[in-house]
Structure formats: C-alpha cells, structure tokens
Amino acid sequence: MRMKRFKKLKREKEPMEVDITSLLDILTILLVFLLQSYNASDLTLDVAEKIELPKSKSEAYGHASVIVQVGKDYDLWINNHKIGKASASGDKIEILYDELLKEKEKEKKELEQSRTVASANGKAPEEKKTINLVLDQSIPYEVMKKVMHTSALAGYPEFKFIVQGNF
C-alpha cells in the first residue's frame, strides 16, 4: 500500500512544461511602448494661448530654464504668467527686462541655497544662462531680435528656441 502511494506521488512530481511565448510577447510590446514614450528632456512646456509654433526637424531637447513666450499680438509671458505686450519703441522691452531681472534674482537665491547644500557634496551648481524662447511663427524678426537682446541684457545670453517637431 505504501509503495503504491509513493509511486503515485513520484509520478505527480514530474516537471511541467511552461509556455512563456505569450509572456515574452507582452514584455516585448511593453518595452517598445516605453521606448517610444521616453522623453530625454527635463523641459515641460505649456504653450500660451494663440501661439503657433514653427515646425522643425531638429531633435535637440530644451532644458528647464526661464520660458519667455511671445504671441502673435505681441503678448509676453514669462513662465506662463502674462506680463504685458512687447513695445515697438526702444532697444529693449522694459517690462520683459524688469521681469527677467526678478527671475534672475530668484535663481540667484535658489543657487545660493543649493550651493550651501552642495558644498558638502563637492559639486556646486552653476548659474543658468540659457533662456527658452517660444515665439509665434508670424511675429516679425525685429520683435524676435528685441526679445533676444532684452534677454541677453538681463543675464540670459544663451537661447533655446522651442519649436514644434514632427516626430
């Protein structure tokens, strides 16, 4: 009796075959989906109302920095806050210059705070000199030149133009 039970248990313990083909299919689909939705940029952008971005084939990404947007009616936004309109007179846009100086002061305060923390780590963060420009495709070159000149005077001499990609 005992022998029969032992043989029966031994027969039940035979290795089972597991078909993992469907599991591999699911993992492959998941991997493709994740690779397609991956974004290497740390920049998130909410485009202000009524701005049509120019098209581009460039694949370079922007990085988190101050974002200046100019609409087709010359409305100005800094970091999604409307500050006024770009004026047609003068070398620089005064309202933009004043707001960019305020942003620069905020960045300097944050930089000082992070430097005290980073001094223990040995790597101090650097001051941001780049500004992200979101310009409507219909604005004239003179307005773009004024925005760039004003940004450079306020301490942002490097520019990244945010455009609409086709990828």
Contacts of 113 (CB under 8 A, 6+ apart): none
Residues 162 and 61: their CA atoms lie apart, in Å, by 9
8 A C-beta contact, residue 54 and residue 137: yes
117-135 pLDDT per residue, tens? 666 666 666 777 889 888 8
Q: List, for residues 136-167, the tens digit of each pLDDT value.
A: 888 888 888 999 999 999 999 998 888 776 64
DSSP assignment letter at 55: E
Tell me the residue ranges of DSSP E strands in the chain: 55-56, 66-70, 75-78, 81-85, 130-135, 158-161, 164-165
Query: Helix 94-121 crosses helix 141-153 at what angle (to 10 degrees)?
Result: 50
pTM: 0.61
CA–CA distance, 102 with 147 (Å, rounded to integer): 16
H-helix or E-strand containing 28?
helix 21-36
Calculate mean pLDDT across residues 90-118.
Answer: 84
